[in-house]
Amino acid sequence: MLQTTRFQQQKNKEHVAEPRDQTDDLPSPVVERLHVEVIARRARQSFGDILPRGYLSVEEYIVYERLYGTPVFVENAEDLQEVGTEEVEGPDVSEEKQPDGSTMLLRQGEDGEYLEVAYAPDSKEALEGEGEEDDVEGAETMTDAEWEEVKEQRAQTFHEEMYERSRMAREDEAEALQNDEDAEDEEFMRAHPLTVAGRFKPFPSTVFLPKETFVDPVTQLLTRTNMKHLTMTANQIFGGPGLPDSATTAAASSNKGQKPIPLDPSQTDMGHIEADVYMAGVMPGTYSAVMSTLVEVRRRLGSEWIERLVQKKGGTILDAGSGGVAVLAWHEILKAEHERMHEESGAVSQNDAPLGKATVLTGSSTLRHRASTLLEDTTFIPRLPDINQTEEELNTHQPRKVYDVIIAPHTLWPLKQSHIRREQLEKYWALLNPKGGVLILIEKGLPRGFEVIASARQHLLDNHIASPGSEEVRVAEKDHITSQEDVKFTKKEIGMIIAPCTNHSPCPMYHSPGISYGRKDFCFFNQRYIRPPYLQRILNAKDKNHEDVQFSYVAVQRGRDQRLPMHDPLGKGLVQSEETTDQAFEGHEWNSEGDDLTPADVSPLTFPRLILPALKRRGHIILDVCTPAGTLERWTVPRSFSKQAFRDARKARWGDLWALGAKTRIPRNVRLGRPSDEFDKKGRRIKRPKKMTVEVGMGDDGEEEGTRVKNTGRYSQDRKIRGSGGRKGRKKVYNDLDDD
């Protein structure tokens, strides 16, 4: 990076020294264009076929590549010759007024004669080079369509080069971070073992899509589609520039509506261009969200869970909503675990990692054919099988197939009715392996997406997962309950929420079921990934090639519960309660003997989780956490609390589990909005009828008289009136909202 800065400073000095007396009278766009070309020519004369990385800007590099082709990039100054200091005079340019008032640009040739140059920034003539330096063969006889194809190929090459440059930079950064972790720091101690165990994001924190198994095959598939048509269709389907309705989430300031992804792999009417748009616009963001959740599940369940699946030749996985990229992410996890197991044993692996049996839900034949080029030995099904408990009990000789891992991203929100969502969730649970299967639900990180995930979480807790004090569920044997005999209670199954919650209490951000308008606080996380080159071109992005995808998720395990001693790796059984929260507030930094605690001493599943980025202030750090007691609190870690805790709190990231305690704690106010029953279908607030007080006076003969009706708003007023006979009046108060 320092070397690139020195080259850029040298180029800026040469650019300032460029004589401008010959171009002072030209229009500013023409002058700027000419000087960009001069800088590109000087770079060629100074370095030849070699070019330092970062020496030219994007516009200058495009001109350089047009004139001389793709250079050989180098990083170190020792690989270059000294930068030449010989001045290069700019081209002799003048302009001549035409009779119709237009301006004709003239350039002096080698023989001293002035030749006309038709200047148009986006035209073929303006982009063509001069003489022998032009690397485009037959440019003068090219049609506009052929020239557009050449420019498209060059743009693709440029984005691929930028992608490789980012990948190499991230690999160097990861290596540097690893070296920093291994080095001893005299001023600060290294991160506490429990802090390391509670980290959320992958390492390195930026996700790269696998080049050989994902980026390259998709790039090859998209070459059959014109990029302009692909971009236009993507903008039309996913809400315009920036694709706010895809797997990405638009900023709140953009005032974009909250909508689910309009394309779903289970759709049967997906055409060729729509399948290409789905692979290019949705799959990259979905892959990064799935990879982030899989890494978190692997950390919370430990190495025993993944080793058991590796021994089962990778287990079985069902991708129910991503078109196959969830399977690719799962394969990367298996490969990394396979390498780790052989590194610890010291043996050299002679075989590839077992990838297990994968099933992908794809209703469209076009998407199925495209996904089959990314995956091998994969089963594709058009829909999920129907679940019938009676047939399952009768068919004991051929039981239904179950899956060790079910990943369902972006599948519940598109379903409009809540009962249909519950039926879909019941299918996922029935297809899950009852001996340790893991279900992962993911939706977009928006208030509506969070509400869908929170509702699914509560449904699983109410009907399937047993918790202390809630071990039975009430079920009806008949459709219409006429007596107590029609109702029976069934025991729930063993299960546990793995992430992100460290409690089984009702979600503190989901008090009222359904949609809440004006919700400001909700549980979601983010994951940064590097966009592939084809997505860069669709977004027309030139300033950055990374993106932060936001998502809400929940991961549960069926058949195993670490709150039970038999399933706890420590053999003690986890406790997630107010007492556990108090212990986490006191901190788990060291034991009674003064030694650091490790995950072998206390489980991270008893720690609170950061629901927002840490607020760094002078002398203290503020952490907003969701506690094992099911409450939201704000913890403050000052410098005086603990040197280790303050150091780790400054490094804490959004989504991490916090183990080192705090000095002060206060309840955190949550902005949950208003329930949906206070708004109509168009989001307008319903005007509720006011309470009314009917005051009736009593006459001497006992008959009512002097009746008065008064609106009192939400609060009724007690007023005493007297009738004509001097008796006290009586009042009747009722509320129009009550049907009774």
Give the tens place of pLDDT for each residue, 349-368.
667 788 889 999 999 899 99
How many other CB atoms are there within 10 angstroms of residue 143's CB atom? Answer: 9
pLDDT score recorded for residue 439: 96
For position 29, what pLDDT does the model report? 52
Mean pLDDT of the chain: 76
pTM comes to 0.71
Instruction: Give the pLDDT score at 589.
Output: 87
Segment 296-305, tens digit of pLDDT:
999 999 888 9
Cα gap 280→225, rounded to integer Å: 11
**Burial class for 342, CB neighbours closer than 10 Å (0-12, 13-18, 19+):** middle
Contact 264, 411 (CB under 8 A): yes
pLDDT value at 253 more than 80: no
* Range in 153-162, 257-266, 715-724 the model is least confident about: 715-724
* Contact in structure between 562 and 499 (CB atoms under 8 Å): no
The pLDDT of 379-404, averaged and rounded, is 73
Which of the 8 DSSP states describes residue 241? Answer: T
pLDDT reported for residue 361:
94
Please determine, for residue 630, whether its predicted confidence score (pLDDT) is greater than 60: yes
Residue-level pLDDT at 583: 92
What contacts 541, CB < 8 A, 6 or more positions away? Answer: 531
Specify the range with the lowest mean pLDDT, choosing from 68-82, 295-309, 656-670.
68-82
- CB atoms under 10 Å from CB of 189, counted, come to 13
pLDDT of residue 131: 38
Each residue of 309-354: pLDDT tens digit? 888 888 899 999 999 999 999 999 999 888 888 777 666 666 778 8
β-pair partners for 473: 490
In the chain, what is the greatest distance between 2 CA atoms, to the nearest angstrom?
Answer: 125
pLDDT of residue 739: 34
Domains and CATH numbers, the chain: 2-139 (no CATH), 211-249+264-389+399-453+503-558 (3.40.50), 578-674 (no CATH), 688-734 (no CATH)
* pLDDT band at residue 62 using 50, 70 and 90 as cut-offs: confident
CA atoms lying within 13 Å on the CB side of residue 292: 32
Q: Which two tokens stand for residue 25?
A: 């009278």
Please give the pLDDT value at position 438: 95
Backbone angles phi, psi at 480, to 5 degrees: -115, 120
**∠607-566-605 over CA atoms, to 5°?**
10
51 forms beta bridges with 73
